[in-house]
């Protein structure tokens, strides 16, 4: 996948999590914190965005089941309730 495709996939993930298409007057308006969250996910993508903790000696790792907590905090104001 290209960087643009990965970026679009992360944006769709955030839209789904927030239950928000970010459409205002029939125009997609992505808030700056959401763009920043996508950028952070892109940075983390080279490592592993779901990695929560890792130990080398015993080769143990734990993973986030969803978006990392810091990303969730960034996009929380844009989350809508789903009925």
List residues bridging with 60 in a β-sheet. 55
Give the pLDDT of residue 58.
59
Average pLDDT across the chain, whole number: 83
Q: How far apart are CA 73 and CA 36, in angstroms?
A: 12
Q: How far apart are CA 78 and CA 43, in angstroms?
A: 22
Give the pLDDT of residue 11.
95
The pTM of this model reads 0.74
Pairing relation of β-strands 23-24 and 60-63? unpaired
Look up residue 35 and give its DSSP letter: H
What's the pLDDT tens digit per position in 47-62? Answer: 654 555 555 565 655 4
Give the pLDDT of residue 55.
56
Q: Is the pLDDT of residue 46 over 80?
A: no
């Amino acid at each position: 996948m290209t960087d643009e495709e990965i970026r679009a996939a992360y944006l769709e993930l955030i839209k789904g999590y927030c239950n928000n298409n970010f459409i205002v007057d029939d125009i997609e308006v992505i808030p700056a914190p959401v763009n920043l969250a996508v950028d952070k996910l892109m940075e983390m993508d080279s490592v592993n965005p779901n990695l929560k903790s890792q130990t080398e000696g015993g080769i143990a790792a734990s993973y986030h089941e969803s978006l990392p907590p810091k990303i969730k905090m960034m996009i929380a104001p844009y989350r809508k309730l789903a009925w």
